[in-house]
Amino acid sequence: MTDSMRETRAIALASLVTGVLYFSGLFTILTPLPILYLSAVRGVRAGWISAALVVSAVSAVYLFMLPEAAQGEGGLSLMLVPGQGLAGFLSRETIAIGGVGYIVFFVAVALTMSWGASRKMDLMRWGGFALGVGLAVMATSLAAVLWFGPNELLGGVRSYIALVFAEVAKAGGEAGEGSAQLLFLAEHAEEVADYSLRLMPSLAFVYAVLVVAINMVLCRRMIRGHHAFSHVHNVARFRMPDALIWILIASGCLFFADSYVLGTGWLKVVALNGVIAIGSLYFLQGMAVIVYFLQGIRMPLIRTLAYVAMILFLQTVSVGLLLVGIADVWVDFRLRRWRALHNHS
């Protein structure tokens, strides 16, 4: 088999796996991984060809073959493609534009990350560049959707979120889990949906951060030692610029100032978006600190069990990881450990 045939087969396989991941629902967040892997192993040109094939195929599904949502009476439809569940609330054109923008977001992250790796960017510039491009694609897609109908988008998404919350509360009640949270959700689904919509900018930012971080770590593990990723020695050394902490502090102060003094309402929403967005970055920094210390454990089984426990109980330990990341700005735990290990005096 010639090298050209191997490359063609690799491009076809990466395109197929990318499409499967995108439509899988559960593993959609891993959509950039095949193209990123292909670009690192076969070159950026192969990645671009695969990306073009994937975007063309997914766009065709949204523009010409988007299944109609089987919207039941007060229920949610079975979503065969991302965004199909919104068919009862948004027009077919709006969903198509959003769906095409969604796959372009994943493809742009993959290509940007492969380009950054080929340029031997340091970890912060590499991830930041991919995140910036991904957010730019998100913003462009949103602008395109808003151009066709801003009122339809906001009202439709708000109604969809309210329906999701109502269905969750209903399912919990039928299962006998009548907790105070579910009762509150059932009674105030519209209000919670409205506030969730206001927090969408920061939630979209957090999602983009997770897409970049997860695919970066997984791809590096898959092709460890490959020249494209050889410059990233240890992702556990990830550290945000210290000056960024003041944005988090300012956002927190603005939230309390608007809650108890100013009372504008919209400033509190802006502040909360800032807290969530910047807080997610320090959450990752806190996780990097913990992983750095776990790497010092010489027993692989114990280290693996610690990783599994951290994932399983992530909701419980998330606040602790955030606090560790914030404290690391001043304490610098990893530098202290490095000095302790290398101080032989």
Q: Which two tokens stand for residue 316?
A: 């419980």
The reported pLDDT for the residue numbered 102 is 92
Helix (H) or strand (E) holding 265: none
Cα 52 to Cα 104: distance, rounded to the nearest angstrom:
10
For the chain, list the strands marked E by DSSP.
Answer: none
Cα(first)–Cα(last) distance of the chain, in Å?
Answer: 60
- Tell the residue number behind the tokens 């105030």, with chain if given: 188
d(CA 138, CA 100): 11
Helix/strand/coil percent split, the chain, to 5: 80, 0, 20
How many angstroms separate the CA atoms of 30 and 38, rounded? 14
Contacts of 59-65 spanning 24+ positions with Cβ under 8 A: 59/100, 59/103, 61/99, 62/95, 62/96, 62/99, 62/100, 63/96, 63/100
d(CA 129, CA 109): 9
Residues with Cβ within 8 Å of residue 118, at least 6 apart in sequence: 44, 228
Instruction: Answer whether 63's CB lies under 8 Å from 79's CB.
Output: no
Task: Please give the structure tokens belonging to residue 268.
Answer: 């509190």
How confident is the model at residue 137, as a pLDDT? 94
- Domains belonging to the chain, first-starting first, are 1-164+195-233 (1.10.1760), 239-345 (no CATH)
Per residue of the chain (345 residues), give pLDDT as tens. 677 788 889 999 999 999 999 988 789 999 999 999 898 888 888 999 999 999 999 999 888 876 554 343 334 444 567 776 676 777 777 888 888 999 999 999 999 988 887 777 777 888 889 999 999 999 998 888 887 766 667 777 777 777 776 666 666 555 555 556 666 666 666 777 777 788 889 999 999 999 999 998 888 777 765 556 666 666 777 888 888 999 999 999 999 998 888 888 889 999 999 999 999 999 999 988 888 888 777 777 887 888 788 778 777 888 888 999 999 889 887 776 666 655 644
Residue 192, φ and ψ in degrees, nearest 5: -65, -40
Q: How far apart are CA 57 and CA 13, in angstroms?
A: 14
pLDDT of residue 13: 94
Sign, CA dihedral 296-301-302-304, equals: positive
224: left (phi over 0), alpha (psi -120 to 50) or beta: beta
Task: Tell me how crowded residue 172 is: count the other CB atoms within 10 A of its CB.
Answer: 17
pTM of the predicted model, to two decimals? 0.85
Pair 78, 87: CB distance under 8 Å: no
